[in-house]
Amino acid sequence: MLNNLFIVLLNALSHLSWSALYRISDGLSWLIFNVVGYRKKVIWQNLRNSFPDKNDQQLQPIAKAFYRHFTDLIVETLKLRRASAQEVQERLVGNTSVIDDLYARGKSAVFVLGHRGNWELANLFASATFKHECIVVYKPLSNPTFEEWFRQMRTRFGGTMVPMREIYSELLTPRTRPYLLFLVNDQSPNPKSAYWTRFLHQDTGVYRGVESIARKYELPVVYADLRRDEERRGHYWLDITPITEHPEEVPLNGVLEKQITILERDIIKQPGNWLWSHKRWKHQRPAKLQPEQLLEVRQDRE
């Protein structure tokens, strides 16, 4: 009963204007971070470790930008429940010629993102804009009521949601057009199976799914960054970077290394636009790593 009442509230809020929702975001930001103190210890530990050359006074603007960004994501997601395709496309703008070219050549691809910008907006933008079939890999919510609410929001323009455990069988399904497989891979993976590298001055495990899937199905890989428009609240720029057309020719974990390097660069350029509240570094690097957890080093041969 309580879940249903909350869904009614969410749907009612989705009818509000963008400007009204951003006023709510400002209030939420103050309440969540100044009063409740939501994950402030995690946020500040992540910031201090990631920017060891900055003191707390220098980190304060980054934290403040993140607080507003975090609550903007909440209200924007509510609005996306009803936003038109035109509204979505007006709020995420960028050069999509890389994707258009892949489609023209009949190629499917892995489309990888980090937790930058509004990834829910990116999901809807993709299914409303690209000619590919859009398949989004995700982790289902444990609450069936909220799982259904998010599923309806995420599939409004024809996208397909597939749990990670089902993705390999899903990709064996015959299709009538090329697909884009969307993966967000900057969470905290199992340390015993992760690829390990240095990221933001810290030993960091990276999910290997992007590379494993790309190699198994011989898929090109592209990386997308969602850069916040500093002049227009709720608007983002889409920057798409090809990683490789032939993952099987890249050294093992080379796809991940290139992608995580670009992600780090993008975070440094606009640090308030990343999910600092996530416990990204909760696992320690194992003392002994298997070959598949390391970057393969190839020596050129005459």
Model pLDDT for residues 83-100, shown as the tens digit of each residue = 999 999 999 999 999 999
Count CA atoms closer than 13 A to 191's CA, side-chain side: 12
Please compute Rg for the chain using Cα positions: 20
Q: What is the pLDDT of residues 111-125, one digit of tens each?
A: 999 999 999 999 999
Confidence of residue 279 (pLDDT cuts 50, 70, 90): very high
Tell me the pLDDT band of 299, cut-offs 50, 70 and 90. low
pLDDT at 2: 85
Q: State the average pLDDT over residues 199-212.
A: 97
Average pLDDT over residues 2-21: 95
Segments making up each domain of the chain, as ranges: 2-282
* pLDDT digits 0-9 by tens, 143-159: 999 999 999 999 999 99
Class in CATH terms, 2-282: alpha beta
Instruction: State the pTM of this model.
Output: 0.94
Give the pLDDT score at 302: 41
Strand intervals (E) in the chain: 92-94, 109-113, 133-138, 160-163, 179-184, 195-199, 202-206, 221-228, 236-244
Selection from 76, 11, 99, 27 nearest residue 235 by Cα: 76
